Amino acid sequence: MSGPILVFDSGIGGLSVMNEIRKQLPQHNYCYLFDNARLPYGNLSEQELIVGCVALITHHARRLNASIVVVACNTASTLVLPLLRQQLTVPIVGVVPAIKPAAMLSIKKHIGLLATPGTVKRDYTQALINQFAGDCKVELFGTSELVLLAEQYVAQQQIDMDKLNEILAPIAASNIDVLVLGCTHFPMIATEISHYLGGGVTLLDSGEAVAKRVRFLLSKESNGNKQLQACYTKDINEGLKATLVDYGFSDFSLVTITD
């Protein structure tokens, strides 16, 4: 019997991707592994991010006998996928900002990318823009603060709406008509983002595209009892645990690389 689908992120953002995968493959077991001890990834050096992610993911993929690994983090995906594919034999799926569909959808040919500073500055991101959005004006908005606001929201804490509005104000003033949510945390607060920006801005993320890729690579057959396990590198508060229970998680573990 194959092991669970392993979904990895720095925090809770990857749940937005896992939800889309579960719609496509509801009968599979899942392990959601998040490295909240080092959150937010956008503030880490490339080397620190790569070494920590690769060690954590490879160890737990082998421990769980994972059937596939989904790196549900844009920042990590721009850096760690080649190394993971060298060390693991199971399929590795990453996420990339939805630049291509945004460029195709935009009427104004004026789009925005909202992501962590790390994703915004990567050569990988610029290559996507050059390849798929050459006919568009592309505005880049980098923020790590929004990651933390999304974490607070999912942990059932009151978020600072003034800070949220401050982050979104430059986007509202930019006159774009499509905004790419280039961090998997941001779909968790898409309603709040859309409310501020208004109906004239369409939000896009990569969750559904990732789910389709995972479904293509895996069988739809059941591989267990539909268990959902959450593993994290730093203790979580009761609000976040309650949210995870609402998502269907019943198994919780504080882990390290050597567990």
- The set of catalytic residues is 73, 183
Residue 175 labeled ligand binder? no
Residue 16 labeled ligand binder? no
d(CA 225, CA 1): 12
Provide the greatest CA pair distance for the chain: 53
Residue 9 labeled ligand binder? yes
Among left, alpha and beta (phi > 0; psi -120 to 50; other), residue 43 is: alpha
Residue 75 labeled ligand binder? yes
CA angle in degrees (0–180, nearest 5) for 150-105-186: 5
Binding residues for substrate: 9-10, 41-42, 74-75, 184-185
Please state the residue numbers annotated as binding site: 9-10, 41-42, 74-75, 184-185
